[in-house]
Amino acid sequence: MNKKNNKILIISAWYFPLFHPRPHRWTAIAEHWAKEGNEVTILTSKQPGFIENEIRNGVSVHRTGVDSVKTLLAFWKKGRESRNGAPAGWLWWIYQHIWKQVVFPDDSCWWYFPARRRLKQLLQKEKFDLIISVSLPFTGHLLGYFAKKQQPEAYWIADNGDPFAFQPQALNNRSLYGALNRRWEQRVLKMADKSVCTNEATRRAYARAYGEAAVQKMQCIPPLLHPAFEQDEVRPPVEGPIIMAYFGAMYPPMRTPEALLELVARLNLPIELHFWGEINPAFQQQLRAYPFVRLRGLHSRATVREAMRGSHILVNIGNRSSYQLPSKAVEYLAAGRPVLHLSYTEEDPFAELFKPGNLFFKWLPLEEETAERLEDLKVWINSALFQNIENQHFNLKKYTIESIAVGYIV
């Protein structure tokens, strides 16, 4: 497939103005392809305050339906979301204990039928060279499957930010839908002309789940770093508290804060632990119980990057799975700040990414803690405050928009 003059359709429940990793990735790629001379169409969900159809930075954007209960509540509140972007109190209880027990394939099932109606119109109007469906949410792949049935001559890429059927955090009631989840994921992998994941560990996980034949057409395209970080040799001042910062979301049981909170408390150092990103309601009370915790909430990518550069140490809480690589990993890599990583698995893609550098400390919460191990961490923290920035030692080119975008169409 040529880099130019292609008709490309992207199906993703999440797109601009959302700015968490998946919509950020596909907004950047879509606009990059449009600048290269491709005709790019995006089918996505409605967002409060944005019109249904527009040409945005060269991309034809079609918004229809709502992607989740949370977005529906945002419309119900006339666009005014709660501070953490999630239902609160009894609404959250209903969402978790009733709604999520019956939905299929995930919370974005709200979006499927209005999206399919609009998709059918688009497919009747245009013959696409390339169709890309984005998951999660897996509802995007159900629409991609429908599109491939309608236009079998189009090249279909199933892009998988995370696995669906076997990830630790169940997206639906597995006692009801476990077998159906697996059948649909296998069906997508088989029918797609190519599937994509972000790292080799995830590809191996798919192979273990469905066999080597299922991953013969699977390609690894890493997380996106966009826009590129500017080089920065200036360290934050060492006077005052030590600023440790965690960026991103947390989800029970896959990624939880208990071990980090207890570790910082035992260090007995003048630390402020900042959490940037959406806070799951399940953790709100727990986090507020620690006086050294600061909750910063959701902010723009520019603000987040400035906060990374303003931190003494970046913190990552590893997944309980051995194959998922968080998108923020390359942001941490490029930020050039020391990284404290809590690792829960022997095979750890995040730790592998940082192997060439020495501004990295891997803490193992599941191993027995000793006074010696704790002292080693204290020594590393105190020395990290004065370390030189070394992001130039890493090859960041493969994470740029140019490298990522071309990976899909070669």
Residue 349 DSSP code: H
The predicted structure's pLDDT at residue 254:
78
The predicted structure's pLDDT at residue 78:
47
Give the residue with greater pLDDT, 3 vs 76: 3
Task: State whether 50 and 192 are in the same domain.
Answer: yes
Q: Say if 51 falls within a structural domain.
A: yes
Q: Say if 209 falls within a structural domain.
A: yes
Strand order in the sheet with 313-317: 293-297, 271-276, 242-247, 313-317, 339-342, 360-363
Decide if 71 contacts 45 (C-beta within 8 A). Answer: yes
Of all residues in the chain, what percent carry a pLDDT higher than 70? Answer: 90
Q: Say if 171 falls within a structural domain.
A: yes
Q: Say if 237 falls within a structural domain.
A: no
Return the axis-axis angle of helices 109-125 and 139-150, rounded to nearest 10°. Answer: 20
Task: State whether 48 and 115 are in the same domain.
Answer: yes
Decide if 249 contacts 280 (C-beta within 8 A). Answer: yes
Q: Say if 208 falls within a structural domain.
A: yes
Q: Please report which confidence band the pLDDT of residue 409 belongs to, taking 50, 70 and 90 as the band edges.
A: confident
Q: Please report which confidence band the pLDDT of residue 81 belongs to, taking 50, 70 and 90 as the band edges.
A: very low
Which pTM does this prediction carry?
Answer: 0.88
The predicted structure's pLDDT at residue 346:
86
Count of domains in the chain? 2
pLDDT at 84 over 60: no
Return the CATH number at 96: 3.40.50.2000
Which residue segment(s) compose the domain that 247 sits in?
242-393
Kindly report the average pLDDT of the chain as a whole number. Answer: 89
SS3 category, 154: coil
Task: State whether 213 and 248 are in the same domain.
Answer: no
Which residue type occupies 370?
T
Token digits of residue 210: 């469905």
Q: Say if 227 falls within a structural domain.
A: no
User: How many degrees, rounded to 5, is the angle at CA 353 between CA 349 and CA 354?
Assistant: 125
pLDDT at 394 over 60: yes
Alpha-carbon distance 172 to 289, whole Å? 31
Q: 366-391 burial, b if ≥16 CB within 10 A, otherwise e?
A: eeeeeeeeeeebeebbeebeebebeb
Last residue of a domain, one of 221, 254, 270: 221
For 208-256, what is each residue's pLDDT tens digit?
Answer: 999 999 999 999 999 999 998 876 656 677 788 999 999 998 888 778 9
SS3 category, 307: helix
Last residue of a domain, one of 190, 221, 252: 221
Task: State whether 216 and 247 are in the same domain.
Answer: no
The predicted structure's pLDDT at residue 383:
86
Task: State whether 252 and 215 are in the same domain.
Answer: no
Task: State whether 255 and 215 are in the same domain.
Answer: no
SS3 category, 131: strand
Which residue type occupies 135?
S
SS3 category, 173: coil
pLDDT at 69 over 80: no
Helix locations, 151-297, DSSP H:
174-191, 200-210, 258-267, 284-288
Task: State whether 254 and 217 are in the same domain.
Answer: no
Task: State whether 171 and 299 are in the same domain.
Answer: no
Nearest of 296, 283, 287, 30 to residue 159 by alpha carbon: 30
Residue 244, φ and ψ in degrees, nearest 5: -105, 135
CA dihedral 342, 348, 353, 359 (to 10 degrees): 30
Q: Please report which confidence band the pLDDT of residue 67 belongs to, taking 50, 70 and 90 as the band edges.
A: confident
Task: State whether 204 and 258 are in the same domain.
Answer: no
Q: Across residues 316-321, what is the average pLDDT?
A: 88
- Contact partners, residue 262, CB within 8 Å, separation at least 6: none
Alpha-carbon distance 253 to 170, whole Å? 10
Task: State whether 202 and 262 are in the same domain.
Answer: no
Q: Say if 207 falls within a structural domain.
A: yes
Task: State whether 196 and 260 are in the same domain.
Answer: no
Give the residue with greater pLDDT, 50 vs 83: 50
Alpha-carbon distance 133 to 180, whole Å? 19
The predicted structure's pLDDT at residue 389:
55
Highest-confidence segment of 72-81, 84-93, 225-234, 398-407: 398-407
The predicted structure's pLDDT at residue 359:
84
Token digits of residue 199: 């790292």
The alpha carbons of the chain give a radius of gyration, in whole angstroms, of 22
Alpha-carbon distance 249 to 15, whole Å? 18
Token digits of residue 139: 């509802």
Last residue of a domain, one of 158, 191, 221: 221
Q: Please report which confidence band the pLDDT of residue 83 belongs to, taking 50, 70 and 90 as the band edges.
A: very low
pLDDT at 86 over 70: no
pLDDT at 356 over 60: no
Q: Please report which confidence band the pLDDT of residue 75 belongs to, taking 50, 70 and 90 as the band edges.
A: low
pLDDT at 92 over 70: no
Task: State whether 252 and 213 are in the same domain.
Answer: no
Alpha-carbon distance 20 to 299, whole Å? 10
Alpha-carbon distance 64 to 112, whole Å? 10
Give the residue with greater pLDDT, 155 vs 369: 155
Q: Say if 233 falls within a structural domain.
A: no
